[in-house]
Chain A
Amino acid sequence: MNQPLFSVTNLSKKFGKTIACNDISFDLWPGEILGIVGESGSGKTTLLRSIAGLIKPDQATINYQHKNKTLNIDQMDEPELRHLQRTEWAFVHQHPRDGLRMNVSAGANIGERLMANGWRHYDDIRAEAIKWLEAVEIDAKRIDDLPRTFSGGMQQRLQIARNLVTNPRLIFMDEPTGGLDVSVQARLLDLLRGLVRDLGLSAIIVTHDLAVARLLSNRLMVMKDGQVIEHGLTDQVLEDPQAAYSQLLVSSILQV
């Protein structure tokens, strides 16, 4: 494909008088993983939610390439957008409980997107659910258990399985390793990277953790006060940061 998969132009979003995102533009090309980093309150999560269609930006042109056709996301009807969100897109929330149905089994959580897309064969749905539980390293025996009986790391992996089951092309992630132990984080990062590579996904990942950004993303955007203050290859931004704030951010990484 010789054009961006996803492109955002002049996105702005205010909450009252607070400017959460100010005139942000970027492109995402097929197979790219873009990290958005910045401190709390920098507007990165608002940006992610705006581009993923979860909240409406005040202003933006958002284009998405779908089968040689450019879809204008910001002008799209809600049913069409929802269809996109449950087929070609995926959104992984920071807190698994925001992205999972806690009162239905793991298998049903994974199967929901399939059933929403017309799957009507129980055994097929179940086989697919088992395949995805294994892909995210959850014992298939847990298929009928409720997510609340899972550990935080398992819940997050279940959320990822639930999202990837329809083979999306674009995945949005909000602090996917946020609330997890360091050892669990590493496992999840490894898993995510493998899945993204094997499935040819493109991804936009919001994180405040530069180590996560380094390991997962090809490109980085640094945000501060609703602005993108630096944008480049991940190693460029981390090893040769230009803006004063990026230099401060990078020099603040804890070394082990």
Chain B
Amino acid sequence: MSQSIISPAIISPATQIDPNYNFAYLNEQTKKMIRRALLKAIAIPGYQVPFAGREMPMPYGWGTGGVQITASILTPDDVLKVIDQGADDTTNAVSIRKFFQRTAGIATTLNTSTATVIQTRHRIPEQKLQQGQILVYQVPIPEPLRFLEPRETETRKMHAFEDYGLMHVKLYEDISQHGHIATTYAYPVMVEDRYVMDPSPIPKFDNPKMNNNPALQLFGAGREKRIYAIPPYTKVVSLDFEDHPFEIQAWDQPCEICGAGDSFLDEVIMDDQGTRMFVCSDSDYCQSRSEVQS
């Protein structure tokens, strides 16, 4: 897709910073601390680095981990895109975008390919990411082993010793209960043949996009105070069984708005009679395809 077809309306240019705030809200010491954690996370792909997470002016669960990472990596020249479940126009995405417009004065965009930093909740954009872009994930529970092993001391050892039998226990339980691996989001992956990682609650549809991605992928968990990362061009493999291989979701029909047959679809209920339609969850992708067609 060429730049020419993007309507100018979806880029908001840089503005004045609210003078009451330091650039991007966090103080410089905190940003340095978080950058150190990020460097460590990038050096050890998939490894969860603890960091001294700060209180942010939003509740836990609204992306405090992702916001702290974004705040720490933003420069005045960056162009920020924020998505929530693939959409740029939901409350969470809008308020985070406004937060950085006000505290960092940076340009924002709804367009995936124009953005230099994309903060996301629960999706990876359909548009292929490029080298130089950074994808920041908001993570609720960073520990993939947590539901089966409640002890943090024990899960840390399991990671340290690559003692990952338990992860397959979860998938085994899925198959024994449902006949197939029923985990559809937060589907565990093995990063660079070493660390098992929770990719945050993205649909497993997005898992293959993490593999060998040219962009840098950063993950921030605010409540649990953990940061982890997938550097560009890193091997990311979804866990599975030989006789129950990993598969992504598929739909019987294309998107009813843009006709895409290769995107993740949301089911939308249209009226009280239960009429439904399936449309792209990635609003930018859907819109730009529609614009090309019209």
Contacts and interface: CB of A to CB of B under 8 A. Distances in A.
B161 A78 contact: yes
Interface of B: 148, 157, 160-166, 168-169, 172-173, 175-177, 240-244
A122 B243 CA distance: 6
A120 B165 contact: no
Interface of A: 78-79, 82, 86, 101, 103-105, 107-108, 111-117, 120-123, 125-126, 143-144
Contact of B176 (A82, A105, A121): A105
Leading 8 A-B pairs by shortest Cβ distance: A116-B165, A115-B168, A79-B161, A122-B241, A115-B165, A121-B242, A108-B169, A108-B172
A108 B242 contact: no
Nearest to A119: B168
Contacts of B166: 112, 115-116
16 contacts: A78-B157, A79-B161, A79-B163, A104-B169, A105-B173, A107-B172, A108-B169, A111-B169, A111-B172, A112-B166, A115-B172, A116-B166, A120-B168, A121-B241, A122-B175, A144-B176
Given A79-B161, A116-B165, A123 B176 contact: no
A140 to B, nearest CB: 13
Contacts of A86: 163, 165
Contacts of B176: 105, 107-108, 126, 143-144
Nearest to B240: A120
B165 A112 contact: yes
B165 A82 contact: no
Contact of B163 (A82, A114, A125): A82
B169 A123 contact: no
Contact of A79 (B148, B160, B244): B160
A229 B134 CA distance: 68
A121 B161 contact: no
Given A115-B169, A126-B176, 14 more contacts: A78-B161, A79-B162, A82-B157, A86-B165, A107-B176, A111-B168, A112-B166, A114-B165, A115-B165, A115-B172, A116-B163, A116-B165, A117-B165, A143-B176
Contacts of B173: 104-105, 108
Contacts of B163: 79, 82, 86, 116
B265 to A, nearest CB: 29
Nearest to A118: B165
Given A115-B172, A122-B241, A126-B176, A101 B148 contact: yes
A111 B176 CA distance: 12
A121 B177 CA distance: 16
A73 B70 CA distance: 47
